[in-house]
């Protein structure tokens, strides 16, 4: 193999030419590296956004829309319990009213969002694009905390003794406190859920039809929530 020896440098022009060749080579190499890195980041961003859309379309989104549809039915059931206590209904009637109230029990996840944040993808998004994702996901941890509170308040209601005479004042107070806590959380759920509902529209995330169908079925299987199922079924494509 023939090896070309570098030409000897005789003057400043030759030196400048050699330096220029080296500089151009470096620039080309750096540009190529940046181009490849740009392609890699575009792929990472595309993949991360796809995962966030799937998370919202198949998990959080349908659950949130179910909860929005069920709001009135839940509130009416809770108001019925409070009214029974205020009227002095028998223990059995109040317990019956408590047993009729069902609140959809879900967890709200943001695994895809956290993965995008940890991988540095979110930092690569332009501010407007990032704001839309932040707006969509911001209520998720709040919704999850509210769901936890609802679980414990509902436990208090169902801990009331089934057998016995009229409800004591202490029991009445416990029931009313739990009911008002659940009504407060029901309203808070709706407030946060409406932001995510708007965020779904802003990001053009279409809830998965099969998952939405499951949510409708869940409402229809629960007598106290069935009257509200129509609101959700009207959104099916």
Q: For the chain, which residues make up each domain, given as ranges?
A: 12-233
**Which pLDDT score is estimated for 19?**
63
Question: Average pLDDT in the 139-149 region?
Answer: 95
- Residue (of 136, 143, 160) closest to 103 by Cα position: 143
Q: Are 87 and 166 within 8 A, CB to CB?
A: no
**pLDDT 10s digits, 3-56:** 555 555 555 665 556 666 666 666 665 555 565 565 577 889 999 999 999 999
Residue 149 contacts by C-beta under 8 Å, 6 or more apart in sequence?
181, 185
Model confidence at 60, pLDDT cuts 50, 70, 90, reads very high
Higher pLDDT, 68 or 32: 68
Question: Average pLDDT in the 91-120 region?
Answer: 95
Residue 14 contacts by C-beta under 8 Å, 6 or more apart in sequence?
7
Alpha helices of the chain — where are they, by DSSP H?
A: 12-55, 61-87, 91-100, 111-118, 121-124, 127-137, 139-158, 169-202, 209-220, 229-233
Mean pLDDT of the chain: 88
**Which pLDDT score is estimated for 27?**
62
Assess whether pLDDT exceeds 70 at residue 94. Answer: yes
The CB-side HSE value for 206 (13 A sphere, CA atoms) comes to 5
Question: Average pLDDT in the 201-229 region?
Answer: 94
**Which pLDDT score is estimated for 156?**
92
Question: Average pLDDT in the 50-69 region?
Answer: 96
**Which pLDDT score is estimated for 108?**
95
**Which pLDDT score is estimated for 225?**
95
**Which pLDDT score is estimated for 194?**
96
Q: Are 229 and 68 within 8 A, CB to CB?
A: no
**Which pLDDT score is estimated for 42?**
85
Question: Average pLDDT in the 45-70 region?
Answer: 95
Assess whether pLDDT exceeds 70 at residue 200. Answer: yes
Question: Average pLDDT in the 176-192 region?
Answer: 96
**Which pLDDT score is estimated for 130?**
95
**Residue indicated by tokens 């009214």:** 83
Residue 48 contacts by C-beta under 8 Å, 6 or more apart in sequence?
112, 115, 116, 119, 121, 122
Write down the pTM of the prediction: 0.81
């Amino acid at each position: 193999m023939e090896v070309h020896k570098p030409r000897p440098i005789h003057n400043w022009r030759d030196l400048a030419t050699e330096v220029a060749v080296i500089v151009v080579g470096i620039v080309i190499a750096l540009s190529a590296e940046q181009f490849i890195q740009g392609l890699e980041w575009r792929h990472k961003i595309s993949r991360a956004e796809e995962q966030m859309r799937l998370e919202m379309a198949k998990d959080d989104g349908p659950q949130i829309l179910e909860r929005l549809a069920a709001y009135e039915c839940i509130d009416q059931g809770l108001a019925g319990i409070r009214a029974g206590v205020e009227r002095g209904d028998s223990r059995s009637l109040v317990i019956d009213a408590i047993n009729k109230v069902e609140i959809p029990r879900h967890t709200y996840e943001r695994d895809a969002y956290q993965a995008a944040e940890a991988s540095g993808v979110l930092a690569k998004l332009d501010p407007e694009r990032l704001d839309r994702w932040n707006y969509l996901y911001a209520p998720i941890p709040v919704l999850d905390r509210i769901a936890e509170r609802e679980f414990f308040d509902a436990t208090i209601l169902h801990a009331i003794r089934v057998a016995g005479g009229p409800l004591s004042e202490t029991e009445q107070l416990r029931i009313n406190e739990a009911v008002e806590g659940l009504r407060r959380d029901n309203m808070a759920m709706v407030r946060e859920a409406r932001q995510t509902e708007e965020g779904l529209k802003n990001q053009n995330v279409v809830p998965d039809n099969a998952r939405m169908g499951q949510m409708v079925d869940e409402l229809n299987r629960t007598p106290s929530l069935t009257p509200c199922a129509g609101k959700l079924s009207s959104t099916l494509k």
